[in-house]
Structure 1
Amino acid sequence: MLAEFDLIRRYLVPSPARHAADGIALGNGDDAALLVPRAGHQLAVSVDTSVVDVHFPGDAPAFAVGHRALAVALSDLAAMGATSRWCFMALTFDQRHFADDAATQAWMEGFGQGFHGLCERHATTLAGGDVTSGALTVGVTVMGETPQGLSLRRGGANVGDVIAVTGELGGGAGGLALWQKGERSLEHPLLRRYLLPEPRLAAGEALLHLASSAIDISDGLLADLGHLRHASNVGAALDMDALPLASGLEEALGREAALQAALSGGDDYELLVTLAPENVEKARQQLRELGLALTVIGHCREEPGVHGIPVGGRAGWQHFNEGTP
Structure 2
Amino acid sequence: MVDLNLHGANVFALTDFKAPSADVEGAILAGRDVQLSNYSVNDKNVDAYGGYSLIAGRNLNFSSGSIKNGNTYVGGTANVTQSVDVYGKKIQTGAANAPANLTALATQLKSTSNSLSTLATTGSATVQWGGLNITGSKSKVEVIDIDAKTLSSVTYFNFSDLSSGSTLIFNITGTSGAFYGGYQGFEKYNVLFNFYQAKDLGIHTGLTANVLAPLATVNGGSGVINGNVVVDNWLSSVQINANHYFKPTTVTGFMTPVPEPETYAMLLAGLGVVGFMARRRQRAAAR
TM-score where L is the length of structure 1: 0.23
Kindly indicate which of the two structures has a greater share of residues assigned to helix: 1
RCO greater where, 1 or 2, for CA within 8 Å and sep 6 or more? Answer: 1
Kindly indicate which of the two structures has a greater share of residues assigned to strand: 2
TM-score where L is the length of structure 2: 0.25
